[in-house]
Amino acid sequence: MDLLNTLVDKGLRRELPTRDEALAVLATSDDEILDVVAAAGKVRRQWFGRRVKLNYLVNLKSGLCPEDCSYCSQRLGSKAEILKYTWLKPDQASQAAAAGLAGGAKRVCLVASGRGPTDRDVDRVSDTIKAIKDQNEGVEVCACLGLLSDGQAERLRQAGADAYNHNLNTSESTYGEITTTHTYADRVDTVQKAHAAGLSACSGLIAGMGESDADLVDVVYALRALDPDSVPVNFLIPFEGTPLAKEWNLTPQRCLRILAMVRFVCPDVEVRIAGGREVHLRTMQPLALHLANSIFLGDYLTSEGQAGKADLEMIADAGFEVEGTGEVTLPEHRATAGAGCGSHAEAGCGSHESGGCGPCGSPAEEPAAETTRASEARTDLVAVRRRGAGTDLAPNA
């Protein structure tokens, strides 16, 4: 297929596809899915070999969020019967993180519900980062605390944080349909604050919220322009008790096409399969490893994931290997560029050379959005987390 050959060539050169090419990936048929995976897999292996980075989530504060994000089980007004608890103490968080690290995780992601941290919250998280790093040499710590105020990213960096996560989630044009208590611009501002402070920026999306192909391409191109080092791709977990509980729009093949499109647009970036992979990819998860080079191990914030042991077996059976703590995740040209746009001057923002920061070429008429065969609602696969952080039960790692 000429399209896929073109995309492979561009991916190996770190050159941005056109919007039409990105849309065409999403419009491929189920009969072509193995060709799409094979093509994007060539780009993945060029920059990341057969390594899979493992990440582990610790939910520092669960539920009772004042924001109204429609996809979230912790949102204002959520009737989802999730765990609700206030801040874990540093030693509790460190103990929770230890389980994931023992299972092979290289990065710990510290997440707290809420609009954004107070200065006191930043102090709490700083103490937690220290507790984790004191016990685990070489561990990466990523914080995800919501919208940042001036100076907070710098304080987290000084405390030892390596990265900051704040997802764009969906396209700017449809963001107001998903969330009304903050704006898309607020999210962009926080990613830029993390970059400017020298933190490795982590920002991604959620697929399956009823968005169009054009929306997916828009948000991925916007992410490319922001130049994060890692892009988590979440697939909506339709929690009962949330406004999007009835949104079952994804098939395993659709998820693979989305991951392939992200890989082609962000060829040398850590693409992480995040929440919802077990619900929507199901038995096709191993194929997704040919597209993404990073996954979460075990459970998520409020939902149960695949058992950590099963994750490790899946990686080995698919012919991949867990990335070691001594290995550098990013390709050399990105790893040596450092965080923040200011350090990428020689190669262009994002070190994409001629690809530049964002979309190139003039906009063309977009093909019609794919009509997706709705996946059967697998509500049996949506299980609320009842173990790990915030409980007395052992975590699933």
Of 171-180, 208-217, 301-310, minimum mean pLDDT range: 301-310
For residue 213, is pLDDT > 70? Answer: yes
Q: What is the pLDDT of residues 110-144, one digit of tens each?
A: 999 889 999 999 999 999 999 999 999 889 999 99
pLDDT at 375: 59
Q: Residue 297 and residue 309: Cα distance in Å, rounded?
A: 9
Domains parsed from the chain with CATH numbers: 2-324+335-361+368-381 (3.20.20.70)
Please report, for the chain, how many H helices and E strands are present, in that order. 14, 10
Choice between 19 and 307, residue whose per-residue pLDDT is larger: 19
Which residues have a catalytic role annotated?
65, 69, 72, 109, 142, 202, 272
Give the pLDDT confidence score for residue 300 in this predicted structure: 81
Q: What is the pLDDT of residue 147?
A: 96
Q: Tell me: the pLDDT tens digits for 338-396? A: 644 333 333 333 333 333 333 333 333 344 444 445 557 888 778 778 777 878 788 87
Contact 275, 234 (CB under 8 A): yes
- Residue 68 or 375, more confident: 68
**For the residues 284-301, what does the mean pLDDT come to?**
94
243-257, 306-320, 345-359: lowest mean pLDDT where?
Answer: 345-359
The tens digit of pLDDT for each residue in 139-167 reads 999 999 999 999 999 999 999 999 999 99
DSSP state of 170: S
pLDDT confidence of residue 340 = 42
- Is 202 in a helix, a strand, or coil? strand
Arithmetic mean of pLDDT over the chain: 88
Whether 265 contacts 40, CB under 8 Å? no
**Cα 389–Cα 395–Cα 397 angle in degrees, nearest 5:** 125
Global pTM reads 0.88
Residue pLDDT, tens place only, 81-91: 777 888 999 99
